[in-house]
Structure 1
Amino acid sequence: MPDPIRVLLVDDHAMMRAGFRLILEAQPDIVVVGEASTGAEGVAAASRLRPDVICMDVQMPDMDGIAATRLIVADRAVEAGVVIVTTFDRDDYLFAALAAGASGFLLKNAGPEALVDAVRVVAGGDALLAPEVTRRVIDRFAGADGGSGADADGPAPASPLSVGLTDREAEVLRLMAEALSNAEIAQQLYIGEATVKTHVSNVLQKLGARDRVQAIVLAYRRGLA
């Protein structure tokens, strides 16, 4: 049996942390290894506890979750993925979190299953955005090039072939851009989930993307999706 996913909770509301702990520890494959009530405490706990996933609030005393995420991602000794979990559906928080290196962005009004899914997805090395914000990310970055992936007088959008993607990898990238999970992509293409993970890994490498979210952004900006 594989080791459980180790989670650190960083939120200044004790009741929120208690609720998250209850939800997550009801799962046989997840264990909460620690809690912190400020961003600074979260950074220290991440270094000390070496969790796999950190559920991070944004508005906290001492240091906010965006700054804490930036420090955690910059620490090469910490390999945790950070999921921002916030009440505030704000674009400034969303894009600052992605720029800081967060692997996920989830709203607190999501159901318990969404939190569990986010932890598992990020622990597996993928990235996850709440469905409510995925389209805004795509629109913002696609719109940066006029929605076409190129300037009006610039070169035509790239083709999947021009960046070295195989037909199957291009298909996987298109489904990633539709916010499908690995399991959903596997079901859509009638292939195994392990095969999808290999394709996703190849796509990230060929695009020079840090994670799934960045790959989707690059795909839209380059006209690949």
Structure 2
Amino acid sequence: MTESPILIALVNDYDVVTTGLATMLDRYRERVLIAEIDLNLGVADQVDIVLYDTFAQPESDVDELSTLVANPRARRVVVYTWNFHPDLIERARGQGTDGYLSKTLPAKDLVAALEQVHSGETVISPQAPHARTAPGLDWPGRGEGLTDREAEVLALITQGMSNAQVAELTFLSPNTIKSYIRNVYRKIGVGSRTQAVLWGVDHGFTPDHHRIEHWRGGP
């Protein structure tokens, strides 16, 4: 265990996602302390680790990770995701990230993994097939019964992406994307893509693009 808390910046464009993760980690604030929550990649504080949550982010876009890795205020960068496609892991590692951690990790295991990264290790967590997302996380549409993956697909199509683009960004098959979309339509009670996008706009599926400083007394 480190003598002082590891300073963490959370990066994602969705307020509900980052604040949910911050709340989950808050129980371990003697070990990890949220220094800031960035929703536009502009990390401003000197932090030990940037935790990049991939919800509805183009995790296959190397430019975003490159921006974080090149930021002199961030000592290390860790990807936080449910998608463990080997090509995504290899691409992230090639960009210089220091960890690739699963959203299935319980909070205590996530904190332990961040401590390993902080000590200089490269940590890639094992991903159990069909595992549930760790308790405590949040995402748009959860209250309406959308899973995190269904919500992510809806967020991407709300941003105007086609099925093919969503499949390419998430490294999922087009048929899998179609299956998620059918499930989304059923759960939110719509019958068309246009209706789904309008519903998404009205229910928090558009990016926030702002910054939350000094989370609950952080530095």
TM-score between the two structures when normalised by the length of structure 2: 0.50
Q: Give the equivalent residue in structure 1 for 2:34.
A: 32
Report matched runs for 1:1-225 at 5 Å.
2-27=3-28, 28-37=30-39, 41-42=40-41, 44-45=42-43, 48-58=44-54, 60=56, 66-75=62-71, 77-132=72-127
The alpha-carbon deviation at position 73 of structure 1 amounts to 2.3
Q: Tell me the alpha carbon deviations over residues 132-183 of structure 1, each in whole angstroms, 9 at most, x when there is no partner.
A: 39xxxxxxxxxxxxxxxxxxxxxxxxxxxxxxxxxxxxxxxxxxxxxxxxxx
The alpha-carbon deviation at position 62 of structure 1 amounts to 8.7
Cα distance change of structure 1 residues 26 and 73 upon mapping to structure 2, 3 Å threshold? same
The alpha-carbon deviation at position 68 of structure 1 amounts to 2.5
Q: CA RMSD in A?
A: 2.6
The alpha-carbon deviation at position 92 of structure 1 amounts to 2.4
Task: Pick 1 or 2: higher relative contact order, CA cutoff 8 A, min separation 6.
Answer: 2
Q: How many residues align?
A: 126
CA distance in 1, matches of 2:68, 2:99: 14
Q: Counterpart amino acid of 1:72?
A: L
CA distance in 2, matches of 1:62, 1:24: 24
Cα distance change of structure 1 residues 19 and 112 upon mapping to structure 2, 3 Å threshold? same
- Considering fraction of residues, name the structure with more strand: 2
Aligned to 2:101, the other structure's residue is in SS state strand
CA distance in 2, matches of 1:80, 1:67: 18
Structure 2 unaligned blocks of 5 or more: 129-219
CA distance in 2, matches of 1:19, 1:59: 12
CA distance in 2, matches of 1:114, 1:108: 10
Q: Counterpart amino acid of 1:58?
A: T
Cα distance change of structure 1 residues 114 and 12 upon mapping to structure 2, 3 Å threshold? farther
| Residues 58, 64 of structure 1: 8 Å contact kept | no
| Residues 102, 126 of structure 2: 8 Å contact kept | no
Aligned to 1:132, the other structure's residue is in SS state coil
Divergent runs of 4+, >3 A: 58-66
CA distance in 2, matches of 1:55, 1:113: 15
Structure 1 unaligned blocks of 5 or more: 134-225
TM-score between the two structures when normalised by the length of structure 1: 0.49
CA distance in 1, matches of 2:117, 2:10: 14
Q: Counterpart amino acid of 2:92?
A: A
The alpha-carbon deviation at position 83 of structure 1 amounts to 1.1
CA distance in 2, matches of 1:65, 1:5: 27
Cα distance change of structure 1 residues 62 and 110 upon mapping to structure 2, 3 Å threshold? closer
Cα distance change of structure 1 residues 103 and 65 upon mapping to structure 2, 3 Å threshold? farther
- Considering fraction of residues, name the structure with more helix: 1
Q: Counterpart amino acid of 1:90?
A: H
| Residues 12, 57 of structure 2: 8 Å contact kept | no
Cα distance change of structure 1 residues 89 and 101 upon mapping to structure 2, 3 Å threshold? same
| Residues 60, 91 of structure 2: 8 Å contact kept | no
Max Rg structure = 1
